[in-house]
Amino acid sequence: MKIAYARVSTADQSLDLQLDALERFGYDKIYMEKASGGKDDRPELAKALENLREGDTFIIYKLDRLARSTLKLIETLDLLNKNSVEFVSLSDNIDTSTASGKAMFGMMAVFAEFERSIIRERTVAGLKAARARGRMGGRPKTDNKKLDKAIKLYESGDFTVTQIQVMTDVSKGSLYRELHRRKQEISKQT
């Protein structure tokens, strides 16, 4: 089955150019939407991807209709590849059913990995620079005395978690994590 997807970013843009090209290529079913490419919540794209089966072909007019970032594009194309779905981008002359299309896909995967590495390097460098200035990042540690008090109040059964949170300034998450940690410790000892 050939499934096509067409998208424009705003309501005042027209799908006509994409639809004409997709019709010339041919498809069995098409999904269309007017939504920003930067949004991850694109219901018609999700439906199109869900309906693809092994051996199907997914067709778009141009790569930027599918994703805004190389990383997101590669994630989507990797999903198609894992599900044995061929991919065609009409304007970009990519067809993964051909040797040159597979090669192009491979090159795009290399660039996506490069992009991930650069992001990782920048993150590590940024954290290192922040630490050098005395900023450690992450959540601040909860005061153990406050946490012990919160546990005692909880175990008394006289207060709700919200009341304990107000009285001790210990978040619900911290209280529940500590309760879970202590429960795990007790189960290890028995």
Mean pLDDT of 75-98: 90
pLDDT exceeds 80 at position 140: no
> Does residue 51 form part of some domain?
yes
pLDDT band of residue 37 (cuts 50, 70, 90) is low
- In a shared domain, residues 94 and 154: no
End-to-end C-alpha distance for the chain, whole angstroms: 58
- In a shared domain, residues 92 and 171: no
Greater confidence (68 vs 24) lies with 24
Q: Is 101 helix (H, G, I), strand (E, B) or coil?
A: helix
Q: Residue 67 class from Cβ within 10 Å (0-12 exposed, 13-18 middle, 19+ buried)?
A: buried
Mean pLDDT of 140-153: 89
Q: Strand 94-95 to strand 86-89: parallel, antiparallel, or no bridges (unpaired)?
A: antiparallel
Closest residue by Cα to residue 78 from 98, 49, 117: 49
Mean pLDDT of 130-145: 83
- pLDDT at residue 106 in the model: 79
- pLDDT at residue 185 in the model: 87
Catalytic residue chosen out of the listed positions 9, 100, 156, 171: 9
| Last residue within a domain, chosen from 95, 112, 129 | 112
Closest residue by Cα to residue 48 from 102, 56, 182, 84: 56
Q: What is the DSSP code (8-state) at residue 64?
A: G
Domain that holds residue 92: 2-112
Mean pLDDT of 92-109: 85
- In a shared domain, residues 148 and 107: no
- In a shared domain, residues 76 and 158: no
Domain total for the chain?
2
- In tens, the pLDDT along 169-179 reads 999 989 999 89
pLDDT band of residue 59 (cuts 50, 70, 90) is very high
Percent of the chain clearing pLDDT 90 (strictly above): 45
- In a shared domain, residues 94 and 151: no
- pLDDT at residue 38 in the model: 65
| DSSP codes of every residue in 122-136 | HHHHHHHHHHHTT--
- In a shared domain, residues 179 and 105: no
- In a shared domain, residues 14 and 106: yes
- In a shared domain, residues 82 and 155: no
- In a shared domain, residues 165 and 107: no
> Does residue 16 form part of some domain?
yes
Which alpha helices (DSSP H) does 52-98 contain, by range? 70-82
Measured CA to CA, the distance from residue 153 to residue 5 in angstroms comes to: 56
- In a shared domain, residues 100 and 165: no
Percent of the chain clearing pLDDT 70 (strictly above): 98
pLDDT exceeds 80 at position 11: no
CATH of the domain at 69: 3.40.50.1390
> Does residue 138 form part of some domain?
no
9 an active-site residue?
yes
> Does residue 14 form part of some domain?
yes
* pTM attached to this predicted model: 0.60
Q: Which residues make beta-bridge pairs with 29?
A: 3
| Last residue within a domain, chosen from 88, 112, 136 | 112
Q: What is the DSSP code (8-state) at residue 65?
A: G
